[in-house]
Each structure stands twice: as C-alpha cells, then as structure tokens.
Chains A and B, each alone.
Chain A
Amino acid sequence: MKYQLEIQNITKSYGDLKANDDISLSIKPASIHALLGENGAGKSTLVKVIYGSLQPDSGQMQWCGEGYSPKSPFEAREQGIAMVFQHFSLFESLTVAENIILGLDDIGLETDFTEQITKFSKQYGLNINPQQVVGDLSVGARQRVEIIRCLMQNPKLLIMDEPTSVLTPQEVTDLFVTLRKLAEDGCAILYISHKLEEVRQICSHATILRGGKLVQNCNPQDHSKQEIAEMMIGKKLIQLARSNITTGQDIFSINNLSRKSDDMFGVDLHDISLTIKKGSIVGIAGVAGNGQDELMQLLIGEVEAPEETLVFKGENIGGLNSHQRRQLSMFFIPEERLGHGAVPDMGLHENMLLSRPEKSEMTHYGVINWNNVEKLTQQVIDDFKVQTQSSKMQAKSLSGGNLQKFMVGRELIQNPELLIVSQPTWGVDAGSENNIHQALIALADQGSAILIISQDLDEILTLCEQIHVLSEGSLSAAVDMKDNGLEKISHLMLGSEQQ
C-alpha cells in the first residue's frame, strides 16, 4: 500500500534533550491520523519537521513514495501540506476573503476568490460569509476561515493542532463532519489533540509519543480512553470519584453582580448570581472571552465589587482585597500562571508569599519568617510532587504542569473553605491533570466548596455537581443535567449568536 507520508527514524535534539528520538510513522491517504502525547512528548517538534520549519538531525521522509525533505514551510505547502495552527493568524480588521487571499503564496490581491470560498464552504459545510469582517466572528468561525485558507491550496495532508480546544460541543460536531468529508475526498489529516474521546471518535490510526520516543502505533478505537491515556503518560491513572457528596449550608454567593469593563475590549458582566454550598463543586462553563477574566478579577478582589454583591460566610466581602479575603479562608488559583499566579523571575519560596494568610505564620507584622516560608514551600513541593531542583528555582524555569501543581498546592495547603480556580488544568499534561483533579475532589470531600471556571467542558462534567454557563457576560441558572444536559449547555455556550 502506498502511503501519503512516511516518516522513518526521525531524530532531532536540542542540546542534550532529544525532542524526537527515532520516530517512525506512516499516514495513509484519506485517513484521519491522531498524534498523541503529553506536553513535551515531541509532537510539535515532529510537526515542525513535517511542515519544514525544522530540519531533523537524522532520518528520512517519503511523500507519495518519493524522498521529501522540506527546507521551509513554503516547500511543504508546495507539496500539498497545509496546517491549521492552534493560535490563528488572522487580521481582525479585514474580511474573510481578504484574509484568505493574504494567506496564499504567489497570488496578488486583485483576484476574486469569493466564488471559490463559497464553493468550499458549501462542499464541506464550512458555513462562512466571505464579506464578513473577521473581528466579528466567533472562534469556531475563525477556525473555519483558517481551514478554507488551507483548502485553497488543494492539500493532500492537513495538519490540525489542537483544533477543538476552543470550540463548543456543537462546533466540534460540525468540525468532525467537515473533517470526515475532507478525508472521504482523499485528503489525509494529521490530528493533534489531547482530547482522547474525540480522537477515538474520528481517528482510525494513532501514533503515541512519550518523552520524544514512539510508544505505539495503534487504532484508537481498539483501546479505551483510559488505556490510551496510560500509554501517553506511561503509568496508571487513578479513577476519579467523589467519595461523599454531602453538601451543607450555603457558604458563598454572588448576588446580582454587574460591572462595566474598564477595558475597551473587555466584557461587561450582567447581573450575575450564584450560590455555592459547603462540600460542593460548582462549575462555570463557557468559551473564553465571555467574561471569565472579568469575573475572576472580581472574585479574587483585584477589582473592587459593590460590598453586598459578594457574600462569604454571611459577610459582605465585595470591598476586600485578595489578601483580606484569604484571611477569611477564601483562596484563588488564576488561569495565567506566569505573571499573575506566580512571578516568573522569583523563586518558588518567594512566590509562596503571594498567598500568605496570617495563620500560615509566614510573616509577622510584615517581617518575613523565611524559615517557615521555606518549610511550607518544601511541603508543597513534596505533597504535590512538584518536580524542581530546589525551592529556590525561578517560577519560569518550571514546566507548565509543575508550576500549576505548585500553585494548586500553595492554595490547598492552607485548607481553604472556598477555592476559586480558573482553568485548573490548562496546558497541563494528562498525569498532572489527574493529580490536580484528585486533589480538588479530596478537598471537596472534606467539606470545602470549590468554584471552577473552565473552558474544558470535559473537566467540568467530570468534577462538578452544579454547572452554570457564562456567555457574553451573563451567567445561566444551574443546568439540570438529567434531561439532555449536554445539549442545553451547548446551546447556552453559543449564547445569543444562535438565537
């Protein structure tokens, strides 16, 4: 059988680190092939080699049976390889058609592509209006623009990097329809993702990498999600389950909180209300940019809220700053690790002091007790298995997953009665994700309340008993999951766009 692309024994090192170590894989024409692995497993390096932005140290590639060694992405595109990146590169002030034209090699602005765009959009169900300005489009629509841009080059292989991480469930379903049609028409697709359920749905082959090495080539449909995840991380995952869901009385409530954003491009929050009981995990789902950042700032206390709109343990806390809120046993984990939850160029021990309730005895009248700080930092590192050479390592030197474990540990070690966390496992590998989820469940089992704001719907569905959806600055009531819950959430996530 002739392969579309064959990769043989590719090795690429950065200094001592072998990012790709003797990797081989073959992609059949008209197939959807998954490339799986944790962060740092070598997926991006391999893709860069295929797309011509990196040259391998050794190994060969065959394209349609002929030798292939692209020196630049331009050469790769000439051969018929196209890529949709995780972060889009579109000009917001230009129209769809203009953006598509700008993305093409060797074509001037005068040509009119409207017809061709419409043709692709009909053929593959990529619903898009060529004359619309990109700035007005939703994330899903922007992705469709990127896909059409790739299709203009008649690709034989389409590389998609984490395509569903920003989409609503409905948009994911639509995307899969498109991808299947593309494959039927003979285009091979290399699908990079860490969402294993999706991979099992649409991919017929999977290549799993770990630590730069090839672990297995398999058919993902033959294995369970758990098995694939364990192949990726190389160890057993612990099943997540709440041991006791016993919710007590109300501990925290948001009452009719509205706020106009200070930022021109920010989202205004409208009349948000929510109640959390002791021992419960509450989730706020929603696509990024629908007011999550603005809400989180108010919850942390970085932006002052009207006194009575936030009530914790019967006390109005809207006017308190984050430090004062921590004294009451409210703790926070923001989404952005470097620069928000941690200072990049300070050591872990110094970062420990960002969250310093009096009872932790890290400071006494403002004088820092470095001994205690050191002890607590070490405890966080040990308890949460943060991989670091010492407690004095700069925060920026840790990998995303390790830093996230540190930040989660830093707050959990204070035994919060309420933990508010945004995107707890964003950009974190499967093993760390498992650890973090376990830790959150354990906290709730003890009777603490947790509020999770996340774009990862799987995460919210796994952890939360009470789910709300944030869309364009408005928060839905708790969604009743008994009766077609997922569909309701999906509908709410799309917000007014669909109404």
Chain B
Amino acid sequence: MIRLIPRTEPSKAMIFLSPLLALVLTALTAFFIFTFILTDIEVSSVFFTLFVEPLIDTYYISELLVKAAPLIMIALGLSIGFRAGVWNIGAEGQYVIGGITGGAVGLYFYNVEGFWLIPLMSIAAILGGMLYAGIAAFLKTKFQVNEILVTLMLTYVAVLFLSAMLQGPMRNPSGFNFPESRLFHDSALLPIIWQGTRLNVGLIVAIMLSFLTWFGIKKHLSGLQIKISGSAPRAAKFAGFDDKQTIWFSLLISGGVAGLAGLFEAIGPAGQITPGLPQFYGFTAIIVAFLARLHPIAIIFSSLLIALTYLGGENVQIYFNLPSSITNIFQGMLLFYFLACDILIQYKIVLFKTVQQRL
C-alpha cells in the first residue's frame, strides 16, 4: 500500500525550489525524448535552441517580454479568482471579446488623432471583458451554474463571434475580402518602449498591475475577503463578507484584465484584428498563475518562463521541423512536474505492509 501523509511542516526551502526542480525535471524529460525517441535530432542543438538562444539574442529577449506581458495580465486576474475558489477557465474568451470591443472603438475613430484614444479603447476592452465574464458571474450567483463550464464554453462562442465580426462589420473595406480588420492607425497603436523591437508599454502596464495586485492582496480588505472566501466560506460570512460579491468581483476583475490584454495584443504586436488573435494566452495563463502559486510578483517570473517555452517551441518548430504541439508538451510537463513537486512538499509518501487486522 502507498499512502500520502501530510507533513507536519513543509520545508521552506523546497517551497522556493520546487519551480526550479520542475524545470530541471522538464529538461530531463526533454533530454530523454530527444535522445531515445527523436533520435535523428541532436540533443545539444535542440536544447540550445529551446532554452539558450531566446536568452542571448536581443530580438528574442524583446519577443520574450512581448509574450510575457499578456500572460502576466491575464494570470494576475485569474489568480485573484483562484484564491477565492472562483474558477474562471475562459480568460481566452474574455481576451477575444476585449480585443473586439476595444478594437472596435479604435476602428470607429479610424485616423482620428488624440492621446485620449488608447485610454478610451482600453476602457471599452475592459468593459467588454467584464461583461463577458459577468455572464458567468450572473449565472453562478443567480442559478448556481458552474462557472468553469460557462466560462469555458463561452470561449468558443467568443472565437466564433470574432470570425463573424471579421467577415462582417470589422472587415477591412479595402482588404480584398480577407477576414481581417484595418491596420490600426498610429494614435491607436501602443507606443514602443524599445526601439527596433515590438516591445510596447503593455509590459509596463502589466508590471504595474502586478504591484497593484500585490498591494491589494497584502494591504486591502478585498484581498483578505478573497482569501477567506476561498479557504473558509463560513468564516467569510462570519466576517460579514458577501459571497456573491466575491464571485462578481473576482470574475469581473479577471475578465476586465483579460479583455485589456486582448486589446493590447491587437494594438501591439498584431497591429490589426485577425482570426489569429486568440493565441491560447488565456489558457496558458492558468499554468502561469499556478506556477507562481498565485503570487502577483512571482507571476512576472513564471510568465517569462512560459514565454520562453513559447519562443523556444516556435524555434524548434522552424529549425527542426517539429510539430507545434511541442510547446504544449513542454508547458504541460512543466505544470505536471510542478504540481507533483508541490504534492511532495505537502505530503510524504509512506509505504507500509498491510497488517492482518480485523477491525
């Protein structure tokens, strides 16, 4: 018999080391895959492309940061909900809707100059994301509908809505009937903060949001409310916290930032709205949030790590002709190992013989 027994005191060092341990285990597994399964590819060069190259080339570093920004934002929002035990799995959908509503404002004011345009678009994107996540909040508080199902299924609706928009009202009038919007004009594009790259102010916003979230969790009652609602719902009621308010709050926040991230992708690296807007950031951010143990500052680092697997994965696709699912495999392994390490921090495995015992 194997049994998991809770440890009396989890090791402090291991709590910090486990993400690194997960990374090492992932690398080891990759090593085995390339040594024994994909034998025609040389291990060292794959590893170089995967883990090293993205870190030594300025272009790749900037791309790393470009990819990390939306992950940070979405993961921050999700982490708030996860703390409260509200499982928003459909950030991808809120991201798409935010891109559409925010982008629509930009397209409506096409070629209109003004510093107010991006803030206005941002508000529209946040409201769009909130509205979309609000559907799940409404159904959950009113009819106890499971938010996991609602948010997840609404993601598919959002993607279909995007293609409907791109084939209809948002299609570029002079775009040869391609399902793409116009390219945003300069006033509607996020300012670049690193000349010569695609890195924009989105990263700064993301990092500021990290610190804001950290403040909220540490210093504000709403952070406490979320934590208590998640871990002891009866105590939350005892404290006078409204559980419905917590559900609304966490879904609206996560929806809002996901919407903003969607817009930033459209008016940042993409420059227009295309069917390629959804890039799985909404789902990947779930991994990011858990790798960071829902800590708002740690989310910055786990986003960078996951962004690295995106870039490295893309590169091995290009150089070694491997399928695109290689990125997903790495991300999946990383989360799997991380969760496994975490279990072993909290519990120890006890092997024991079954004693003949009649109770």
A residues neighboring B (CB under 8 Å): 72-74, 105, 300-302, 321-324, 326, 332, 334, 336, 339-346, 350, 353-356, 363, 366-368, 370
Contacts and interface: CB of A to CB of B under 8 A. Distances in A.
A72 B240 contact: no
B115 interface: no
B224 A353 contact: yes
Most chain A beta carbons < 10 A, residue from B219, B227, B239, B357: B239
A147 B237 CA distance: 40
Interface in B263-289: none
B238 A367 contact: no
A344 B232 contact: yes
Given A321-B242, A350-B224, A105 B235 contact: no
B221 interface: yes
A342 B237 CA distance: 11
Task: Give the secondary structure class of B's interface.
Answer: helix
B220 interface: yes
A345 to B, nearest CB: 6
Given A334-B238, A342-B235, A367 B359 contact: no
B222 interface: yes
A322 B221 contact: no
B231 A353 contact: no
B227 A346 contact: yes
B234 A339 contact: yes
A345 B231 CA distance: 8
B239 A105 contact: no
A72 B357 contact: yes
Contacts of A341: 235, 238
B203 interface: no
A322 B239 contact: yes
A499 to B, nearest CB: 35
Contacts of A332: 238
A346 B238 contact: no
Which of A72, A342, A355, A366 counts the most chain B CB atoms within 10 A? Answer: A366
B238 A302 contact: yes
Interface in B319-359: 357-359
Contact of A72 (B227, B231, B239, B358): B358
Contacts of A336: 234
B307 interface: no
Given A105-B358, A339-B232, A343-B232, A353 B238 contact: no
A74 B358 contact: yes
13 contacts: A74-B357, A300-B238, A302-B238, A322-B237, A323-B241, A339-B234, A340-B234, A344-B231, A344-B232, A345-B231, A354-B228, A354-B238, A368-B221
B239 A355 contact: yes
Given A73-B359, A346-B227, A368-B220, A354 B237 contact: no
Nearest to A53: B359
Given A74-B358, A346-B228, A340 B221 contact: no
A339 to B, nearest CB: 5
Contacts of B238: 300, 302, 322, 332, 334, 340-341, 354
Contacts of A355: 239
A357 to B, nearest CB: 10
What 5 pairs between A and B have smallest CB-CB spacing? A323-B240, A354-B239, A322-B240, A302-B237, A343-B232
Contacts of A302: 234, 237-238
Nearest to A354: B239
A322 B241 CA distance: 8
Interface residues of B, number: 20
Nearest to A342: B235
A72 B311 CA distance: 60
Most buried by A among B222, B235, B241, B357: B235
A356 B359 CA distance: 49
Contacts of B231: 343-346
B239 A323 contact: yes
Contacts of A354: 228, 235, 238-239
A377 to B, nearest CB: 14
Nearest to A105: B358
B212 to A, nearest CB: 13
A115 to B, nearest CB: 27
Contacts of B239: 322-323, 353-356
Nearest to B221: A366
Contacts of B359: 72-74
Interface string B210-230: 000000000111101001100
Nearest to B356: A72
A137 to B, nearest CB: 25
Nearest to B242: A321
Contacts of B227: 343, 346
B95 to A, nearest CB: 29
Contact of B224 (A321, A322, A368): A368
A13 B219 CA distance: 43
Nearest to A106: B358
Contacts of B228: 343, 346, 354
A326 B238 CA distance: 11
Given A72-B357, A300-B237, A346-B227, 20 more contacts: A74-B357, A74-B359, A302-B234, A322-B238, A323-B241, A324-B240, A334-B238, A339-B232, A342-B235, A343-B231, A344-B231, A345-B231, A346-B228, A353-B221, A354-B238, A354-B239, A355-B239, A363-B221, A367-B220, A367-B221
Contacts of A105: 358
B240 A366 contact: no
B213 to A, nearest CB: 15
A344 B231 CA distance: 8
Nearest to B240: A323
A302 B359 CA distance: 42
A424 to B, nearest CB: 16
Nearest to A75: B358
B138 to A, nearest CB: 21
A14 to B, nearest CB: 11
Contact of A326 (B234, B240, B242): B240
Interface string B44-78: 00000000000000000000000000000000000
Contacts of A350: 224
Contacts of A345: 231
A73 B231 CA distance: 37
B240 A301 contact: yes
Contacts of B221: 353, 363, 366-368
A350 B223 CA distance: 11
A412 to B, nearest CB: 16
Taking each of A74, A354, A367, which has the highest tally of chain B beta carbons within 10 Å of its own beta carbon? Answer: A354
Contacts of B241: 323
A428 B231 CA distance: 25
A356 B357 CA distance: 52
Nearest to B233: A339
Contacts of A353: 221, 224, 239
Nearest to B232: A343
Interface in B229-256: 231-232, 234-235, 237-242
B352 to A, nearest CB: 15
A321 B237 CA distance: 8
Contacts of A322: 237-240
Nearest to A322: B240
